[in-house]
Structure 1
Amino acid sequence: MASIVYALSTLTCIACAYLLLRSFKKNGTRLLLWSGICFVGLALNNALATIDVNTPTELMDLATVRVVVSIVSLGILIYGLTWESI
């Protein structure tokens, strides 16, 4: 059940990233770009979570990689929000 939820979360993040980046291409608003890049990273994080849930801990533990990916993704969004507020 958990893998289905993670897979649906991945698909949702991919859809959000696609819509944000498509809007950026049309409008050129840079905040859409930063948000789209963040959602690409969050989709990667959810994909890694799906893989991590479905593999035994003895074979592979992706917890550290997932935390790094999510911190970098949210850092990009915070940077973009800060940059656009100036």
Structure 2
Amino acid sequence: MFPAAVYVLCFLTSACCAWLLGRSYARSRERLLLWSSACFILLAGNNLLLVMDLLIFTDVNLRIGRLLLSLSAISVLLFGFIWDLEDDAA
């Protein structure tokens, strides 16, 4: 029961972070907040897949999907950092 609670809390935390970052982006229009929000949306999706993989669909392996979501999340954030750095340098 304890691992299930931890998985669900991780999903809720990352979803809440994505929502707060998105709300801050809507107010300030800082692009770094947009990229961070997109990263946390993907990380929340990763955590949701983890919950489904380990608790709901125990006979199906969703590891590849989780890895792809993690890779996408880090790629989006890295792209945002590089794009912001290039715009600041110009």
The answer to whether the superposition gives a TM-score over 0.5 is yes
Off by >2 Å, runs of 4+ in structure 1: none
Within a 5 Å distance, the mapping from 1:60-75 to structure 2 comes to 60-75=60-75
- What are the ranges of 5 or more consecutive residues in structure 1 without an aligned counterpart? none
Q: Residue 46 of structure 2 corresponds to which residue in structure 1? A: 45
Q: Residue 80 of structure 2 corresponds to which residue in structure 1? A: 80
Structure 2 length normalisation: TM-score?
A: 0.90
Q: Could you tell me how far apart the structure 2 residues matched to 1:81 and 1:3 are? A: 34
Q: Could you tell me how far apart the structure 2 residues matched to 1:50 and 1:5 are? A: 10
Q: For the pair shown, which has the larger CA radius of gyration, 1 or 2?
A: 2
Paired letter, 1:27: S
Q: Residue 11 of structure 2 corresponds to which residue in structure 1? A: 10
Q: Could you tell me how far apart the structure 2 residues matched to 1:41 and 1:2 are? A: 21
Q: CA RMSD in A?
A: 0.7
How many residues in Structure 1 have an aligned counterpart in Structure 2?
84
Q: Could you tell me how far apart the structure 2 residues matched to 1:4 and 1:70 are? A: 21
Structure 1 length normalisation: TM-score?
A: 0.94
